[in-house]
Amino acid sequence: RKEVEQDPGPFNVPEGATVAFNCTYSNSASQSFFWYRQDCRKEPKLLMSVYSSGNEDGRFTAQLNRASQYISLLIRDSKLSDSATYLCVVKGTNAGKSTFGDGTTLTVKP
Amino acid sequence: NAGVTQTPKFRVLKTGQSMTLLCAQDMNHEYMYWYRQDPGMGLRLIHYSVGEGTTAKGEVPDGYNVSRLKKQNFLLGLESAAPSQTSVYFCAAGTGYEQYFGPGTRLTVT
């Protein structure tokens, strides 16, 4: 079983739709959680950190469920520019090291 | 500020040749990382560093060596390139939590 698992998709949604991605992790001692965005042939960029209380940044909402060991990312009112691959990242107890999921691909269509 | 830069952007090597990839950061972060990303796959950690003069193995270290002689630079070396090392190489710098990536080096080994 992979340490971090994501549904690879692809998710194809119309503009304006709401879409949600889940990511599960296997190490219950994991400490920190993040979502990154990666555009085609570009470097990953930090989208948002995921806090225990959940957090929101504009149209994006991230949540953490420690009991079930998963994090989620909700995108409301999807835009064409949201089309990208979304990477789930989990940091364990080892200093500095994080594990990346393989990513979920989102395509937003007109 | 440039953030994280990588040199070169593209390179083609013949099997058995050697090369060094350079990563530089101007954010004064302690942690630096080298990843590889193969088509349709996630990022895999090759080596990382928790500070100047330190290095540690990641998930896929075989065939690579690294050095961190200065805090702002992290070098990745391939001593004898193999076709299996054809990939996109990303360097990152960070706090031990968030990571900030360079634009990548596309390496082809023929």
Q: How many other C-beta atoms lie within 10 A of the C-beta of residue A2?
A: 12
- The radius of gyration of chain A from alpha carbons, rounded to an integer in Å, stands at 13
- A45 interaction partners in chain B (CB closer than 8 Å): 101
Residues of A in Cβ contact (< 8 Å) with B102: 43
Q: Does A70 touch chain B (CB under 8 A)?
A: no
pLDDT value of residue B20: 97
Of A34, A87, A101, the CB nearest to B98: A34
Which residues, numbered 80 to 99 in chain B, qualify as contacts with chain A under a Cβ-Cβ cut-off of 8 Å?
90, 94, 96-99
For A43, which of B41, B96, B102 is closest by C-beta distance?
A: B102
How many residues appear in chain A? 110
Of A43, A95, A101, the CB nearest to B50: A95
Cβ neighbours of B40 in A, within 8 Å:
102
Long-range contacts at B38-46 (CB < 8 A, ≥ 24 apart): B38/B87, B38/B88, B40/A102, B41/A102, B42/A87, B42/A100, B42/A101, B42/A102, B42/A103, B43/A44, B43/A87, B43/A100, B43/B90, B45/A97, B46/B76, B46/B89
- Per-residue model confidence (pLDDT) at position B103: 97
Residues in chain A closer than 8 A to B41 (CB atoms): 102
- The pLDDT of residue B1 is 67
Most A-contacting residue of B27, B43, B60 (CB-CB within 10 A), to test interface: B43
A92-96, B16-20, B91-95: least confidently modelled range:
A92-96
CB contacts of A105 in chain B (<8 Å) are none
pLDDT at B109 > cutoff 70:
yes
pLDDT of residue A24: 96
- Determine the pLDDT at residue B34: 97
Segments in chain A below pLDDT 50: none
What pLDDT digit, counting tens, does each position of B28-79 carry?
A: 999 999 999 998 778 999 999 999 999 999 999 999 999 999 999 999 999 9
Looking at residue B25, its pLDDT comes to 98
Can you spell out the DSSP letters for B69-98? SSTTEEEEEESS--GGG-EEEEEEEESSSS
Residue of A nearest to B91 (CA): A43
Mean pLDDT of chain B: 95
